[in-house]
Amino acid sequence: MQHIIDRFIKYVKVDTQSDPNNPEFPSTQKQFDLAHMLVEELKEIGMEDVTLDENCYIMATLPSNVDYEVPTIGFVAHIDTSPDFTGTNVKPQLHPNYDGKDIVLNEEENIVLSPDYFEDLLLYKGQTLITTDGTTLLGADDKAGVTEIVSAMEYLIQNPEIKHGKIRICFTPDEEVGKGAHMFDVEKFDAEWAYTMDGSQVGELEYENFNAAGAKVTINGKIVHPGYAKGKLINSMTIAAKFIAALPANEVPEQTTGYEGFFHLHGMNGEVEKTELKYIIRDHDMKLFEERKALFQKVADDLNAELGKDLIEVEIKDQYYNMREKIEPVMHIVDIAEEAMKKLDIKPLIKAIRGGTDGSQLSYKGLPCPNIFAGGHNFHGRYEYVAAEAIQQATDVIVEIAQITAERYNK
């Protein structure tokens, strides 16, 4: 397992943070730093057809080692880390044989990772936890997934007695800014189905996700000297507060779970003359998703009518859709992953993703792509962690999926 730990730590030390404000592809050139490293590593372990294109997509092939036809399957992970929290100068810390107590990430800044707040820590008691020093995110989302795919391919190459069909792998850029599948060449990848290694807790197996949209609200005010403002000044920030208050107060991420959708205000920038609000809108059910978008627009229209002026502008863009529609006709691919986990004594946790993965967009591009756990927790922040044993378990699941797929088609 030390080999896997070393590989993961090597990856997370490379800054690959993506940028939501840059329309270029990839959104940050530093993602190529890890991409070039991975290309060389894949060649070294014996992968074939290793390519890196101008958009920072890495693809490679593990040829079949059986003499009968097996569907080509794929495994996908993303190399970028979230723009929500810094991924520069990551300092991983190892905590062998975790005792179930508080972990002091940074004594100087009094940053503590506690099971009193993060109860899932206790799932990994006795295992080797990998954390940061509390000043950066870790990058287990999704460098744990990258580690697992590379390690599984290496294991299959080193153990040719394990029978498998042709396997394709891909590492994508810009997943964290919603563009990870945009330039993915499904035809070039040439797999019948694939799995993203981008989930959290050990056992997660997901083929449903949110329908998602991003929304920008622009409120235009008018600046006048406050001493002479009566009847003239229009404070865009005050109007913004009314807009926020007009949406359902309990339909926010911190008050919803399971299949419940939400409106999430994640950015706000305002002065008297102009205020911008940035939202994401989410729902698993397409009908409810469309109703949410309509309500969002209606709030703006009603406020404009109340103000007697069109001061509020709304822009809504769909981002991705629930992949369930594309997975259900080929549910055997979920069954294979579930069987793999059970064979490894991992309890499958089949549930809906309260988010999205590259797999949701890839499924709509013709590559059915459910999601499997990568093992990390508390993504996108200073309290992110992963157990080394979880990375090993996910690696084992990939190997088992390859083996089960070959067995199923041996007729």
- The set of catalytic residues is 80, 175
Other C-beta atoms closer than 10 Å to the C-beta of 365 total 16
- What residues contact residue 155 under an 8 Å CB cut-off, 6+ apart? 395, 399
On whether the CB atoms of residues 78 and 145 are closer than 8 A, the answer is: yes
Q: For residues 130 and 392, what is the distance between their CA atoms, to the nearest angstrom?
A: 13
Instruction: Tell me which residue of 61, 53, 15 sits closest to 34, measured CA to CA.
Output: 15
- β-pairing, 371-373 vs 193-199, is parallel
The tokens describing 266, both together, are 């994640």
Residue 58 is classified by DSSP as E
* Cis preceding linkage at 142, omega within 30: yes
Residue 322 is classified by DSSP as -
Q: Hey, which residues does 213 pair with through a beta bridge?
A: 281, 318
Instruction: Tell me which residue of 357, 356, 359, 358 sits closest to 330, measured CA to CA.
Output: 359
Q: For residues 300 and 304, what is the distance between their CA atoms, to the nearest angstrom?
A: 6
Instruction: Tell me which residue of 163, 151, 203, 200 sits closest to 392, measured CA to CA.
Output: 151
CA 18: distance to chain centroid? 12
- What residues contact residue 200 under an 8 Å CB cut-off, 6+ apart? 373, 374, 375, 376, 377, 379
